[in-house]
Structure 1
Amino acid sequence: MFDKNDFKVFNDDTLSGRLELIKTTLDPKFEVLGEKLLSRLELEYRQKFFLKIAKHQRRTKNPPPDTWLAINQDKKGYKKTPHLEFGLWPDCYFITFSLLADIRNRTSYYPVLKQYQKQIITEGWGVSNDHTTSILKPASEFEAVIDHYEKVKSSDLVVGFELPKTDSKVLTGDYDQFIEDKFMQLSKYLVLFNQAVVE
Structure 2
Amino acid sequence: MTRLVGYTREVTPGAGTAADAAQLTLAGAERVFTDDGPAGATERPGLRECLEFVEAGDTVIVTSAAMVAPTAAQFLTVVSGLAGRGVGFRSLAEPALSTGTAVDSAEVFVALESLRRRLSSLQTRAGMATAASKGRRPGRPTVMTPERVAMAVELRDLGRPVTHIARVLGVSANAVQRALASKADQSSS
Q: Give the TM-score normalised by the residue count of structure 1.
A: 0.29
Relative to total residues, which structure has the larger helix share, 1 or 2?
Answer: 2
Greater CA radius of gyration, 1 or 2? 2
More strand by share: 1
Which one scores higher on RCO, CA 8 angstroms, separation ≥ 6? 1
